[in-house]
Amino acid sequence: MAAETARGLARCLSHGQRARADPRLDLGVLRHAAVRRGRGEAQPDRVQDRLRGHGARPIQEGGRGAIYVPRPRARQVQVRTARDRPVPHPARAGRTRSRARRDPELTRTRIKGVIADRSELASIVARESAETIVGAAAGRRVAATRRLLSPAAHLVARRFVQYDRVLGERGPHLGAAWIAERATGGVIVDGADRVPRSGPLLVVANHPGLADAVSLLVALRRDDAWVVAADFPFLRAMRGANQRFLFVRDGCAARVVALRHIASRLRRGDAVLLFPAGGLEPDPAVSPVAAMNALDAWSRSIESITRLAAGTLVLPALVSGVVSRAAFDHPLSRRRTPQRERQRFASMLQLAFPPLQRVTVGVRFGAPLRSGAGLHDAALASMRALMNQA
């Protein structure tokens, strides 16, 4: 049964990725409007002008109801530079024809690097997807399912290679905004006026997975943001994005070192995004009761970090709506138990089928908290209040 499910899923993925078009505005021609052809100069104002001209609304300044979502458009619009040349693709940004002619070896090296990154990510995606379908201890069935999913995994990895490079080149805010337009149906931010624009800030949030970190980076609007992440092979393979990751390895000694790195960034006045649960949590939009109960598993690392970085503000943040209801209620997902495995399988379907990614993600900020006694309990109380408001 598992092998038949894997074969059917692989067949749907390999055909669906090529056949299905994005039902909303295709901004592919705007993917690297920030770089002029042959110059490599960042033009953030020009990006915003072109996005507005094609129906995209950026995040509004201020509090409630700030939204970042592209409007649908029936046809693709070709955008050209002042020299009447197409805007370069992100994978080829900064690599002009004249430079390629002068240094063909450099071009060949970069092409090999793109293929190597995609192959590494595809291998990880295929293995983890196979383990999700048949179980990590299935042995030969995992290997067979992995081979079946390999073509679809390469299609997923191709997108993530592009996301990785854009995030590494444009930084946390602009890079995350670029990804959010293509990987979600928009990000709605409530309480944006509660986010300090500068100074040490520890953002504590729930972790439903998928686009939660990207949505939080969009909502924070800070280019000095760092993300605390587990030391997973997939995240390590994201060579552009992991420049902004603070990895936490297994073991008590490794965790102490990670806490010191986090505190060091806060003492420099940066913003750090932390998921105190240490793992995936239920999405409040699809499992509100389970999401509320999952808060009890949050670690007390918040207090430890603030003791090492005096003057740090703690900002509770609730992320919801990252998991597609259609993917969560899919017949293949409903067969999974417990609920955590059901959400994990739904996330895999959502990554594989782009139409399922057009979900509107909600980010809601609580009031900033100052370090002191009872900080952990205060953060949990704020998160529960945010969930009750949703």
Give residues with Cβ within 8 angstroms of 11, minimum separation 6.
none
Indicate the residue type of 249. R
Contact assessment for residue 306 and residue 202, using Cβ atoms and an 8 Å cutoff: yes
Distance CA 164, CA 184 (A): 16
Amino acid at residue number 142? V
- pLDDT tens digits in sequence order for the chain, 390 residues long: 555 555 555 555 444 444 444 443 333 333 333 333 344 444 444 444 444 444 544 444 444 444 444 444 433 334 333 444 444 444 444 444 444 445 566 555 555 555 458 899 999 999 999 988 887 766 788 889 999 999 999 999 999 999 999 998 999 999 999 999 999 999 999 999 999 999 999 999 999 999 999 999 999 999 999 999 999 999 999 988 988 999 999 888 999 999 999 999 999 999 999 999 999 999 999 999 999 999 999 999 999 999 999 999 999 999 999 999 999 999 999 999 888 899 999 999 999 998 999 999 999 999 999 988 899 999 999 999 999 987
Other C-beta atoms within 10 Å of 267: how many?
Answer: 14
> Which domains does the chain carry?
183-323+359-390 (3.40.1130.10)
Integer distance in angstroms from the first to the last C-alpha of the chain? 39
CA angle 285, 290, 294 (to 5 degrees): 110
